[in-house]
Structure 1
Amino acid sequence: MRAPLGDFDTALPAPDCLDDLVAPVADAVRTWRGAVPAEQIVYVDTEPEWADTAVFVEHYGRDLLERSANCVVVAGRRGGGTTLAACVVPSTTRVDVNGIVRRQLGARKASFASMDTATGETGMEYGGITPVGLPADWAVLVDSAVVDLPYVLVGSGRRRGKLLVPGKAFAQLPGAVVLEGLGVS
């Protein structure tokens, strides 16, 4: 199979490589429901040492920068409670944590979750967190620019490998809320 974008040696439908995915991501692919079939989610094998965006696009294709998204875990606090959520924004932007995220979560204060919290709560590796397979009770805030792309490169749950996901599939994820301007320059 040829990847829908980028220059990858190995590209397979995600359901065909569940053993290469961490448990929560494999479970999400296995039980996938929605208008976009799971077979349209593509797993591409990549080198973990090239996982950071600048190095990654140098090796796998400059066109990927405009077609990649970052998934970050945020913590919203109000009173004594903390709400965890994920934000998916184009990789050329940053998450508007103190504006849109804080308001969307109804939080008094919002910040990026610690690495230990992000990895412990998701079951994914830091640097590879993906919106596919997050806890079902989390909000998944998705920038509308991500949904508008034909395919988007995101983490696979591990530093090795990435997922190529049709943009419209992000709006179908459990807990998904599509927002304008979530990612800011």
Structure 2
Amino acid sequence: MTKPQEIDVIKPVGEELPQEKFQELESYINSLETTKGALIEILHKAQEIFGYLPRDVQLFVARKLGIPGAEVYGVVSFYSYFTTKPGGKHTISVCMGTACFVRGADKIIERFKERLGIEANETTEDGLFTLKDVRCLGACGLAPVVVVDDKVYGRVKVEDVDDIINTYRREGAAVC
């Protein structure tokens, strides 16, 4: 049975990641009966804790599991679910599946890019929005579909983009 090795919590280089989060991840890993075959599960937990998987978190996982950092990075970079950059407060996902694309999703994502000043899979400088193009959201009857966080917008038109963005900008301003 493979158990995680004991290591000191590493001090992140560059950005300061909270040590409490490393300790939470370490406790999670230590609670597993075995770490053999658990890399993806551990990375999911790490991303849940940190919000993303920066280099220091990947190296921490590698050291805890006694595997090369390159192996961890290979998994992180292969699966699109994992991200190495922090996301925005709101994630805008534009479905680019066939039904949505045929009904104009390409024009919708272009408008989001133009209005937010970013490309797909980037985050705005103010950290408010991350824009993603996704393959299929499984809501073809509502095509084209945009999801912001957990809210689904169906039959979206290019003209709706500004209203969608402004809804979340106002929400952000009301919180400050």
TM superposition score normalised by structure 1: 0.25
Ranked by relative contact order (alpha carbons within 8 Å, sequence separation 6 or more), the top structure is 1
Which one has a larger percent strand, Structure 1 or Structure 2? 1
**Greater C-alpha radius of gyration:** 2
